[in-house]
Amino acid sequence: MIIFRIDKFSCTDEPERSPQYQKLYEKLRKLIEDGYYKRGDLLPSENELCKAHSLTRPTVRKGLDLLVHDGFIIRQQGKGSIVQGRPREIGILSISGTTSAIGKEKLITRIIVKPTIIAWDNAFGYEISEADKSLGCITMERLRLINNLPVFYDITRMPNLNLPRFTSRSFENRSLFDILRKNYQIRVTGGEQKILATTPDAHIQKHLRVDVNHPILRLDRKMETNRVGFTFYSQIYCNTSDYSLSGRF
Amino acid sequence: MIIFRIDKFSCTDEPERSPQYQKLYEKLRKLIEDGYYKRGDLLPSENELCKAHSLTRPTVRKGLDLLVHDGFIIRQQGKGSIVQGRPREIGILSISGTTSAIGKEKLITRIIVKPTIIAWDNAFGYEISEADKSLGCITMERLRLINNLPVFYDITRMPNLNLPRFTSRSFENRSLFDILRKNYQIRVTGGEQKILATTPDAHIQKHLRVDVNHPILRLDRKMETNRVGFTFYSQIYCNTSDYSLSGRF
DNA sequence: ATTCTTTACTTGTGTATACAAGTGCAAAGA
DNA sequence: TCTTTGCACTTGTATACACAAGTAAAGAAT
């Protein structure tokens, strides 16, 4: 008898079940983003949150740790958890993708080079494993416009793992990070980045509509995910004359 | 009878006593940085670390969490804590100061404007509290050279709190972050930053020895500390043509 | 020899509890 | 009235334990 093993990289549209502390994080984060808790407010105390959500203090604290990490609250011993503010423009430097970094501005994504399978040449200065190298590389290039102004030019490269229907998906005005999370249960958990100021080559000049002396910010990023062994890479050119990048550290 | 209250911002040279999980973090970090554990190695398991250091698992895990956050290890369920590598150039984007970001390169710090007390004009785009505004502002400007090449130009502004002997201290070739930590028990716990690519003004052109069309990376940072209410600010101009900034997110 | 199962180990999540340390306020004292 | 003390509350640290879930290797079955 032949058993068809379910591929690890299965393809569903269901939200992944998450631990309690992450659920609490999402709930509180939403309340802050929606303005229910305002800057300067105190969150309910840890013990109150325990009772309200039927959790214990270590679990509640783990949720609050995430909020601290993302800059939504600060904690003060003897006082409480002080709300810092709403969206706080978490920014491309610390969080997942370009899309979630923009906030309420109108973001348009234009595909310049559709997802294509090529051989690996390089990963923007980062080392790639032999395993990934043998798989080949999916590459794509996208232009991001904020309020109709071209601001970002993204080049993405990822190992050609068996992600069903991936190359045929439409990325027009959709977030790569959302697609990975919602359709393949892949979350970006962290990564490395290098940042430098440079001048644009002809390709970038054309798409970002700037001249050769216009300073451009470049990010080379390595993205690590919750899938063991799945990392991917991107290079982002930014015109920061109207929008600067922000983030926490 | 008059009691002289000990000022909170006392001035000692003793290292602050730190919690167990932070001590464990420092120990393991040192072992990785010194090359005792190499990239790909497995750290002792959590239970082994418990026994070895007479701690319990939650405490050990908290220490390991810090190592994960700084990119020294990744953890894999069922397998263990996998060492990522040595210094890993933690970089100015995620960690404390310029000095600790450079690594083994030869860093020279030249004071351009000595610590001076002025009135607040602005804090590089960040809001300052009325309390801080009334205290006045200590400002200083420093040029950092790596291997004799001018790379960073730092402008620092901090509220004029009662830091004994602060303005008279020598900052020549010393790290501001180290001075704050070792002499005043003030640790930078996090902060916000904005990054953009720009062109240098005459002042920056002169000190970084570049022409007007040379792209310069600028960081505007807000530093939060373990002292409640003590935040300070800095603006850093970087010539990234030889050294790019790196960090984790 | 190959495949499957078991087993021992790893990290991930969660509960329950205790005490330390900082904050803020009200009550007691001068 | 002003100051001090004490108390109730907050978060910070740490212990002890339990079970879930993933990994890898040894052993059993084919």
Q: Give dist(CA B212, CA B209) in Å, integer.
A: 10
Quick check: B242 pLDDT over 60?
yes
Q: Quote the pLDDT of residue B94.
A: 64
Residue B3's Cβ-side half-sphere holds a number of Cα atoms within 13 Å equal to 3
- Of the candidates A201, A199, A205, A242, the one whose C-alpha atom is nearest the C-alpha of residue A217 is A199
Q: Longest Cα pair distance anywhere in chain B, in angstroms? A: 66
List residues bridging with A158 in a β-sheet. Answer: A138
A226 or B56: whose pLDDT is higher? Answer: B56
**Which residues of A spanning 121-140 put their CB closer than 7 angstroms to strand C?**
none
A224/B74 CB distance under 8 A:
yes
Q: Quote the pLDDT of residue A183.
A: 80
Quick check: B246 pLDDT over 90?
no
Alpha carbon dihedral A149, A152, A153, A156, in 10-degree steps, equals -140
Q: Is the CB of residue A95 less than 8 Å from the CB of residue A89?
A: no
**Which residues of A spanning 78-97 put their CB closer than 7 angstroms to strand C?**
78-79
Residue B12 binned pLDDT confidence (cut-offs 50, 70, 90): very low
Q: Quote the pLDDT of residue B47.
A: 97
- Of the candidates A95, A81, A106, A104, the one whose C-alpha atom is nearest the C-alpha of residue A33 is A104
Q: Quote the pLDDT of residue B99.
A: 60
Region B189-212 average pLDDT: 94
B61 touches strand C (CB under 7 A): yes
Q: Quote the pLDDT of residue A7.
A: 33
Convert the pLDDT of each residue in A59-114 to its tens digit.
Answer: 999 999 999 988 889 999 999 999 987 654 445 676 556 665 565 577 899 999 99
Q: Give dist(CA A101, CA A103) in Å, integer.
A: 6
**Per-residue DSSP letters for B2-28?**
---PPPTT----SPPP--HHHHHHHHH
pTM above the 0.75 mark?
yes
Residue of B nearest to A240 (CA): B196
Quick check: B169 pLDDT over 50?
yes
Instruction: Report how far Cα A67 is from the mean position of its chain's Cα atoms.
Output: 16
H/E stretch holding A180 reads: helix A176-184
Per the structure block, which two tokens stand in for A157?
């490269």
Q: Quote the pLDDT of residue A91.
A: 59
Q: How far is B239 from chain A (nearest CA, A)?
A: 8
Q: Is the CB of residue B69 less than 8 Å from the CB of residue B75?
A: no
Convert the pLDDT of each residue in A118-169 to its tens digit.
Answer: 999 999 999 898 888 988 999 999 999 988 999 999 999 999 987 888 888 8
**Per-residue DSSP letters for B38-94?**
-TTPBPPPHHHHHHHHT--HHHHHHHHHHHHHTTSEEEETTTEEEE--S-TT-HHHH
Give the nucleotide nearest to A80 (CA→C1'): D10
Quick check: A172 pLDDT over 80?
no
A240/B195 CB distance under 8 A:
yes
- The amino acid sitting at A214 is H
Q: Is the CB of residue B152 less than 8 Å from the CB of residue B237?
A: yes
Q: Quote the pLDDT of residue A13.
A: 34
A248/B198 CB distance under 8 A:
no
* Residues of chain B contacting A220 with CB distance shorter than 8 Å: 244
Q: Quote the pLDDT of residue A88.
A: 46
List residues bridging with A126 in a β-sheet. Answer: A123
Q: Quote the pLDDT of residue A59.
A: 97
Distance B2 CA to D1 C1' (A): 19
Convert the pLDDT of each residue in B91-105 to its tens digit.
Answer: 567 655 666 556 557
**Lowest mean pLDDT, pick from A228-232, A237-241, B34-38:** A228-232
Residue of A nearest to B76 (CA): A228
Q: Quote the pLDDT of residue A228.
A: 83
Q: Quote the pLDDT of residue A104.
A: 59
- The amino acid sitting at A112 is I
Distance B47 CA to C11 C1' (A): 10
Quick check: B88 pLDDT over 80?
no
B15 touches strand C (CB under 7 A): no
Q: Which of residues 110-149 of A touch B (CB under 8 A)?
A: none
Quick check: A6 pLDDT over 50?
no
A192/B240 CB distance under 8 A:
no
Q: Longest Cα pair distance anywhere in chain A, in angstroms? A: 67
Q: Give dist(CA A5, CA B85) in Å, integer.
A: 35
Q: Quote the pLDDT of residue A97.
A: 60
Q: Which of residues 37-76 of A touch B (CB under 8 A)?
A: 58, 71, 74, 76
Q: Give dist(CA A139, CA A112) in Å, integer.
A: 11
Residue A14 binned pLDDT confidence (cut-offs 50, 70, 90): very low
Q: Give dist(CA B185, CA B199) in Å, integer.
A: 37
Q: Quote the pLDDT of residue A81.
A: 97
Q: Quote the pLDDT of residue A207.
A: 98
B244/A196 CB distance under 8 A:
yes
Q: Give dist(CA B166, CA B9) in Å, integer.
A: 11
Q: Quote the pLDDT of residue A61.
A: 98
Looking at the complex, does the CB of residue B211 fall below 8 Å from at least one CB of chain A?
no
Give the number of other CB atoms < 10 A from CB of residue B21. 18
Q: Is the CB of residue B159 less than 8 Å from the CB of residue B230?
A: yes
Q: Quote the pLDDT of residue A158.
A: 94
- Of the candidates A170, A109, A171, the one whose C-alpha atom is nearest the C-alpha of residue A145 is A109
Per the structure block, which two tokens stand in for A123?
């990963």
Q: Is the CB of residue B90 less than 8 Å from the CB of residue B71?
A: yes
Instruction: Report CA Rg, chain A.
Output: 20
Q: Residue B246: which of A95, A193, A247 has the nearest Cβ?
A: A193
B47 — phi, psi (to 5°)?
-65, -40
Distance B247 CA to D16 C1' (A): 37
A197/B193 CB distance under 8 A:
no
List bases in chain D with any atom under 7 Å of a protein Cβ: 4, 9-18, 21-24
Convert the pLDDT of each residue in A74-83 to its tens digit.
Answer: 999 999 999 9
Per the structure block, which two tokens stand in for B145?
């050279």
Region B197-206 average pLDDT: 97
B45 touches strand C (CB under 7 A): yes
Q: Is the CB of residue B152 less than 8 Å from the CB of residue B124?
A: no
